[in-house]
């Protein structure tokens, strides 16, 4: 059986090849191929602000991508008719449909699937309502509750829902049918040697001249809390460095360097770096092994994949106390959003207490086992097979 995936994932076509961001390349979709014969993904073009050099080629022949014009922002609404026609044609011939509903396109797809009496399921990977409430644009903040009601109304009669959180998103976006909490993270099984190396790194921290703090995420805005991270860095000794691994432009980087200078940070280009985006998950895990702390001062998250990756490497992690973060970290490792002082204190207190750091590393390493690929695969496959059976029984 073939799966149609209606999304707003971003892709780029170069001649006859398709390229994607590393986070939504072949490995992301291959987990669905455990149950379905193929996946056809409807996506949108890569946004202009993203670094195209970070894209990776999609090579799995079982994954087919169709790039459809965007229609999410007001300036793109004129694409609605074309998008609706494409969705109608693709959904009409689909055998099973997976929809990310947190967009105008997603709600459009749900409406079409229901009119055509086509079996579909939803996948919730983030809290768009919370994200828009934090947006600097006042119109988007005002739109947040309206969109929230739209999404809740659109999905309420859905029979199957796959959620990346264990509880949070299910409470925010409930459906009448079966709800499965299963993260979409894809991480390697970490051997005990990973933890041993982490504990050794903590033991020898006082011998090193630089303490590295990692932040993973897009940096073309404040949603990932880059401003909070930089203000926290300003409260730390000069041997603490912030390394922001993600996607953005040279203009974005210059903005943050200037922001850091205004916060009183000297030698900003030494203390703040933007490593080149890595093209696969294994490379990210290896990079995390070179970092002392991982922070995620985000304003909104679904269930952050990069944080789970950091846990699996025994990183000492700190994050905002929002959304599903409490599912990943204890309260002692969480701080209020935008509170740079609290974040700085968490890092410095841990740094001054190596025993506490080692306890955190051990806790994180073993907690990540709940997100082991084989554990998630078994849970996800059981749910997807239930959905597949449902599709067979309601096939039109």
The answer to whether 9 and 26 are in contact (CB under 8 A) is no
The structure tokens 């029984």 sit at 393
Backbone φ and ψ of 32, nearest 5°: -75, -20
Per-residue pLDDT, 76: 86
User: Which whole-number Å values give the CA distances from 248 to 47, 183, 217, 222, in the listed order?
Assistant: 11, 26, 9, 12
pLDDT at 77 over 90: no
pLDDT band at 216 (very low <50, low <70, confident <90, very high): very high
Alpha-carbon gap, residue 288 to 308, rounded angstroms: 11
pTM (2 d.p.): 0.85
Element of type H or E holding 116: none
Per cent of the chain over pLDDT 90 is 70
How much helix, strand and coil, in percent to the nearest 5, is found in the chain? 45, 20, 35
Backbone φ and ψ of 39, nearest 5°: -130, 125
282-293 tens-digit pLDDT: 889 999 999 999
| Mean pLDDT of the residues in the chain | 91
Give start and end residues of each alpha helix (H) in the chain: 26-30, 80-92, 104-115, 128-133, 138-155, 168-172, 192-203, 226-233, 250-262, 268-271, 281-288, 305-312, 340-351, 354-367, 373-393
More confident of the two residues 278 and 272: 272
Per-residue pLDDT, 235: 97
Q: Domain 192-370 is classified in which CATH homologous superfamily? A: Glycogen Phosphorylase B; (3.40.50.2000)
Per-residue pLDDT, 143: 80
Backbone φ and ψ of 394, nearest 5°: -115, 20
User: Which whole-number Å values give the CA distances from 302 to 97, 130, 160, 218, 349, in the listed order?
Assistant: 22, 10, 18, 15, 28
Per-residue pLDDT, 101: 93
The mean pLDDT value for 361-371 works out to 93
Per-residue pLDDT, 58: 95
pLDDT band at 140 (very low <50, low <70, confident <90, very high): confident
3-class secondary structure, 186? coil
pLDDT at 86 over 80: yes
The mean pLDDT value for 49-59 works out to 83
Ranges of CATH 3.40.50.2000 domains, the chain: 2-186+373-393, 192-370
pLDDT at 396 over 70: no
pLDDT band at 38 (very low <50, low <70, confident <90, very high): very high
The mean pLDDT value for 224-240 works out to 96
pLDDT at 206 over 90: no
pLDDT band at 395 (very low <50, low <70, confident <90, very high): low
- Domain 2-186+373-393 belongs in CATH node 3.40.50.720: no
Alpha-carbon gap, residue 37 to 295, rounded angstroms: 38
């Amino acid at each position: 059986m073939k799966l149609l995936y209606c999304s707003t994932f971003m892709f780029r076509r170069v001649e006859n090849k398709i390229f994607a961001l590393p986070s939504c390349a072949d490995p992301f979709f291959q987990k669905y191929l455990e149950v379905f014969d193929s996946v056809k993904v409807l996506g949108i073009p890569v946004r202009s602000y993203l670094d195209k050099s970070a894209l990776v080629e999609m090579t799995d022949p079982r994954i087919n991508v169709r790039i459809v014009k965007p229609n999410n922002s007001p300036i793109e609404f004129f694409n609605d008719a074309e998008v609706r026609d494409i969705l109608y044609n693709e959904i009409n011939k689909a055998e099973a449909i997976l929809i990310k509903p947190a967009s105008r396109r997603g709600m459009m797809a749900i409406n079409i699937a229901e009119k055509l009496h086509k079996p579909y399921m939803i996948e919730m990977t983030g809290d768009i309502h919370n994200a828009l409430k934090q947006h600097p644009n006042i119109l988007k903040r005002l739109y947040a509750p309206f969109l929230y009601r739209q999404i809740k109304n659109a999905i309420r009669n859905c029979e199957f829902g796959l959620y990346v959180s264990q509880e949070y998103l299910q409470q925010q976006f409930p459906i009448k049918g079966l709800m499965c909490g299963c993260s979409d993270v894809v991480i390697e099984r970490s051997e005990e040697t990973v933890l041993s190396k982490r504990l050794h790194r903590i033991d020898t921290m006082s011998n090193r001249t630089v303490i590295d703090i990692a932040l993973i995420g897009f940096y073309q805005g404040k949603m990932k809390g880059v401003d909070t991270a930089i203000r926290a860095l300003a409260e730390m000794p000069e041997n603490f460095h912030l390394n922001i691994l993600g996607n953005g432009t040279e203009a974005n980087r210059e903005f943050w360097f200037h922001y850091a200078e205004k916060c009183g940070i000297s030698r900003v280009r030494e203390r703040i770096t933007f490593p080149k985006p890595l093209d696969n998950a294994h490379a990210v895990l290896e990079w995390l092994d070179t970092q002392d702390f991982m922070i995620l001062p985000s304003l909104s998250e679904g269930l952050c994949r990069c944080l789970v990756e950091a846990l699996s490497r025994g990183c000492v992690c700190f994050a905002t106390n929002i959304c599903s973060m409490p599912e990943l970290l204890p309260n002692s490792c969480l701080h209020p959003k935008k509170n740079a002082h609290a974040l700085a204190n968490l890092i410095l207190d841990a740094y001054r207490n190596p025993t506490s750091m080692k306890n955190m590393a051990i806790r994180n390493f073993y907690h990540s086992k709940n997100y082991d690929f084989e554990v998630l695969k078994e849970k996800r496959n059981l749910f997807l097979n239930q959905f597949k059976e449902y599709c067979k029984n309601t096939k039109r």
